[in-house]
Structures are given as C-alpha cells and as structure tokens.
Structure 1
C-alpha cells in the first residue's frame, strides 16, 4: 500500500511539472503576469572613472582593507621614492603588479614565487664579492625578503619601465608585438646586488627602454602578453588618464628582441 501511494504521489508531481512547463498552462498556476525572459549579452564596463593613481591607492591600503591586491607594488614605489603623481599624468599605459607578482609565500612564510623569487639577491663573501658557483660561474642567490634588499635606484627604474607612453588597450593591439616606450631612460643598467643585474647580458633593462605588448589570440578574449612571456591577470581597465593592465607574475624588464 505504501508503495502504491508513493507511486501515485510521484505521478502527480510529474504531471504538475509538465503542466507548469507547457507554454499554455501559465494561467492555471497564476503565472499569467510573467513574461518570457530574453537573454541579452552584456559586457562589463571597463571604465573605472578614476585615475590610475586612485585605482592603485584604493586597492593597496585604501578604504577596503580586504582589497589590497596592489599593496606590495605600492610599498615598492614608496621605497623607490617614485612620486605617485606619475600615475595621474594622461596618455599612458600602466602595468600594475598584483601582490603575487611581487611575492608568494608558502605556509611557513618562505618566499617561493614572484619577483623576489625570480630576481633573488646575490650572495656575497666577507669582502663583498659575489659568491660564484664553481661549475656554472653563476652567482649564488637567495630570495629577497623585503624591498630594501634591492638597490633603490634599480627598483625605481623597474617601476618606471612599467609605465608606457601612449595608451595601448585591446583595440590598439593585435597578435604582433607592439613596441612601447617606457619611462626608463635608454641605456639604463641594473645594479648587481640581485639577479636583475645579471640578466640581459648583464644590462638588466631593455637598452632602448621599450617593452612589448600583444594579444595572444588576436582578439579581446585573449590575454595581453608582456614581452612575449607573461600573460595578464586582468587587463583593459580604462582610467581617466590612460589604461591599466594587471599582471600576477614577475615581469621581465627587457624585450625578447631588442
């Protein structure tokens, strides 16, 4: 008897579901006021309606404590002594570093990724000379643990390299590299206290002070690639004075082809 009741009950539920789904049965269940919903595709507005500086400040240690994704970038800018007014000047492409692009920590607090790991500090002997690997000749290194482990001038130039002259957003790029002039002067060389001074033939920085941007798939669904190596984390934020692209991995300060 219990089985029969359950079967009848399930049959009634199924019938009600079919009735509700039939187009002509809306009135039966008081659904006559509802209208069919037509899906309209919408794109999120990329305009942030503030300057790049405000965007940086708001999301570093601003009004929303849990949203501090640019905290370590801002700390680096402050260490380097860069006036944040640079991020208010018009007609620029701003490359922002997400916290993970600067430092990633494991469960013990050890640096295991980001710029501080990719460009570690060169170990030196008691005389201040780099300790070289006897086999490879490369300097022995350890990850940085704070911005002040680096030379202040080199960090200043690193951040200046991440500001481009001119506005280059998705509609201005394609799948071919676009040379963009940065604010770092041509011929700038990185100091040797970190691996930054040992890359690119010992120059560190692009010797023309330029970087490349391109879209990986030649449309705005693909990431914007920096110097043929790093895909954006998010991109195309239209500030009132330019455009902001955000990266979550350390950026190479020179083009693959110079």
Structure 2
C-alpha cells in the first residue's frame, strides 16, 4: 500500500508526507563568480580599504606609503600582484603575534622606557616605522611579478618567475625569483615558493582576481624565498 502511495505522489503536483509538502522539482542553474574587477590593482586595493567596514589592505597601503613607492607601480600592465591581507602583516593568536606574519617574523630590538635599545632583546614590530624604508620597499617589490600568471597558465609544476626586486638586493635570493604552482587537487590552491628545501611555502588565500592591469593573488602569510641549509 505504501508503494502505491509513493507512486501516486510522483504523478501528482503536490503530496504531503508526515504533514510536510513534498519539494517541487526545479532547474538548478550553476553560477560562477566573475573574477574581473573592472578596475586596476591600485583602485582595487583602495576600494577594499574602508575604515570600519573593509580595511583588508590598509596595512599594505601604509607600507607602500612608508616605502615611498609611487602608486603608478600598481597600475602598470603585464604584471602579477601579490597583495597582503592584514594577517600577512600582523596576525594574533591568543593575543600573541604569530611568527608567520611580517611583524612577528622580522623582530625589532626592544627598547626601555627612555627609548634605548635593550641589548639582546627583541620583540614583534608595532608599526612599519620600526623598519628601514629600504627593507619594506624591497619586500613590496618582491611581491610584484613580471608577467601575468593565474589559473589559466599556472600548472602543477613550479613556474619560476622574475620579480621587480632588483638582482642582488637579497643575498638569500640573488636572482630575485619566485616560484608558483597549482595544487593538483579539487582545491586548486596556488602555492608560492613551494620547492625542494624551501623554508617558507605560502598558500594563496584568494587567487585569480583579474584586475584590468593584471591578475592579483591575496596572501595572509609572509612570502619569502629561503632554502634550508
């Protein structure tokens, strides 16, 4: 008898089971978010820097200003831009600065109440001003890749690319290169500097943002080229 009732439900426009109406069929239309922003990288960062609302790139914009980099650098064509989520600059875990953000990785000398350096004592930075502008500028230039690289042309094998960091500026990376690859799984994560003996592999948090002057990828951890001894 139950089988006959279920069969009847398939023939009728609506039935109820236990007092609940059966769900009517509907056509599912998949929708893929458009990665195009229709603005250049500089405009994109500015639009994502609204105090009290959305200030995800505020720390990066402060670094750019402190380092003295002209904003036109972020409007030029034919480049790939690695953008810094605020967690890449300062990330807290249980109110402690983590060692995988810039201010937690590159410690600065601690000072006493009079402003004098305490020998042998270091702490996490509290502002960009505690670093030399040249150091901040070098890191920001390293995060700009020559050429356009995104999901359409990054594969599972490492792609070695050149950055805007001048050669020999970093003794640990004298050729100023970066590697990019795509994980061969359903997540398709872009990984930066994921090579043999790398000490710092960075996963892209949000990849494939297509700005009018080139793709951008957002990271929330430090990006650097270092190898194990």
TM-score, normalised by the number of residues in structure 1: 0.71
Which residues of structure 2 form unaligned runs of 5+? 17-22, 195-200
Larger relative strand fraction: 2
1:9 paired residue number: none
Larger relative helix fraction: 1
2:134 paired residue number: 153
Deviations 1:10-39 (A, max 9, x none): xxxxxxx979x923221789xxxx984222
Any idea what SS the aligned residue of 2:161 has? Answer: strand
TM-aligned CA distance change 1:167 to 1:130, over 3 Å: farther
1:185 paired residue number: 166
Contact 1:116 1:145 in 2 (8 A): yes
Q: What is the CA-CA distance between 1:146 and the residue it aligns to? A: 0.7
Any idea what SS the aligned residue of 2:29 has? Answer: coil
Aligned pairs for 1:18-167 within 5 A:
22-26=9-13, 36-61=25-50, 65-105=52-92, 110-113=96-99, 114-122=101-109, 131=119, 141-167=122-148
Q: What is the CA-CA distance between 1:160 and the residue it aligns to? A: 0.4
Any idea what SS the aligned residue of 1:45 has? Answer: coil
1:215 paired residue number: 182
TM-score, normalised by the number of residues in structure 2: 0.80
Which residues of structure 1 form unaligned runs of 5+? 1-16, 133-139, 190-202
Q: What is the CA-CA distance between 1:210 and the residue it aligns to? A: 1.2
Q: What is the CA-CA distance between 1:237 and the residue it aligns to? A: 0.3
Any idea what SS the aligned residue of 1:233 has? Answer: strand
Contact 1:210 1:255 in 2 (8 A): no
Contact 1:111 1:145 in 2 (8 A): no
Bigger CA radius of gyration:
1
Q: What is the CA-CA distance between 1:215 and the residue it aligns to? A: 0.7
Q: Name the Cα RMSD after superposition.
A: 3.1
